[in-house]
Amino acid sequence: QSAPTQPRSVSGSPGQSVTISCTGTSSDVGGYNYLSWYQHHPGKAPKLMIFDVNKRPSGVPDRFSGSKSGNTASLTISGLQGEDEADYYCCSYAGSSTVVFGGGTKVTVL
Amino acid sequence: EVQLLESGGGLVQPGGSLRLSCAASGFIFSNYAMSWVRQAPGKGLEWVSSISGTGGNTFYADSVKGRFTISRDNAKNTLYLQVNSLRADDTAVYYCAKGWSSFPLDSWGQGTLVTVSS
C-alpha cells in the first residue's frame, strides 16, 4: 500500500489561491469518500481541516475547500494568509479499517 | 475541550521496548475509537494503529504488525502503545488522535518523541 502522491511544495502570495493535489488509486482515494486533510505546523499537533472530501469542521475558515475527481483529491486555500504556511497532508480510508496518508505538501506564503 | 497528552517516549537501544501513553479528557473516551500516527524526522505522517472504543478491535500498519500492540483502559481514559523490537526506522514523534477508519482524526495530541539509537 503506497502513499498517495502530493506535490512536495506549493507557494503563493497573500490573497492568492493555491491548490494541493492528492493522487492515489481506486483502492484508497478513488474508492471511498472518506478523504481528509490535515494542517501541520512543525512542533504542533496536526489539525483537521477537511473531512469526507469537502466538509469543514467547526472553526475552520471557509477559505479552505476540498474536492475529488476519480483517484485525485484536492485542497484549495483561497485568500492565502501568512498563518496558512504549514505542511498539509491528505489522508484516505484504504479499507479494512486502515488509512493512508499522502506524502505531504509544504505551503509557503511568499 | 478535547485534550490528548502523550507520554512515555525517550531514547532506547535497537531491540528495546517502550510503552507510550495518551491521557484523554474532554470527551467520553469509551465512546470513541483512537489511533496512533507517527512522523519520522524529515518525513510525513504515517498511520500506525487504531483501536475501537471497547478495545475489542485493533488494526496495525504492516510496518509495525507483530511488534507494536495498541490497547486502552477506559476506566483511566488512557490509550497505550506498547512498542517492542524497536528499530532505527521507528524513530519518530508518535501522536495519538481521536478517530479511526472512515472517521476523521478530529483531535490530536502534541506527540512524544521516540529515538532508537545505540
Q: In what order do the strands lie in the sheet with A64-69?
A: A18-23, A72-77, A64-69
pLDDT for A2 beyond 90: no
Supply the pLDDT for residue B46.
97
Are A80 and A72 in contact, with CB atoms under 8 Å apart? no
CA–CA gap between residue A110 and residue A56 (Å, rounded): 26
CA–CA gap between residue A30 and residue B80 (Å, rounded): 32
B46 touches chain A (CB under 8 A): yes
Q: Determine, for residues A34 and B102 on separate chains, whether the beta-carbon distance falls below 8 Å.
A: yes
Chain B: residue nearest A33 by CA? Answer: B102
Supply the pLDDT for residue A18.
97
Instruction: State pLDDT tens for residues A52-89.
Output: 999 999 999 999 999 999 999 999 999 999 999 999 99
| Beta strand extents in chain A (DSSP E only) | 9-12, 18-23, 35-40, 47-50, 64-69, 72-77, 86-93, 99-101, 105-109
A51 touches chain B (CB under 8 A): yes
Which triple of cell numbers denotes residue A101? Answer: 496518508
Q: How much is the average pLDDT of A23-50? A: 96
Are B20 and B38 in contact, with CB atoms under 8 Å apart? no
A101 touches chain B (CB under 8 A): yes
Supply the pLDDT for residue A46.
97
Q: pLDDT below 70 — which residues of chain B? A: none
Supply the pLDDT for residue B113.
98
CA–CA gap between residue B97 and residue A32 (Å, rounded): 21
Looking at beta carbons, which residues of chain A come within 8 Å of B111? Answer: 45
Supply the pLDDT for residue B18.
97
Instruction: State pLDDT tens for residues A17-35.
Output: 999 999 999 999 999 999 9
Pairing between strand B92-98 and B112-116? Answer: antiparallel
pLDDT for A1 beyond 80: no
DSSP A4: P
**Given pLDDT bands bounded at 50, 70 and 90, which one contains residue A100?**
very high
Supply the pLDDT for residue A88.
98
CA–CA gap between residue B92 and residue B89 (Å, rounded): 8
Supply the pLDDT for residue B102.
87
Average pLDDT of chain A?
A: 96
Q: Could you give the residue ranges of the DSSP H alpha helices within A43-96?
A: none
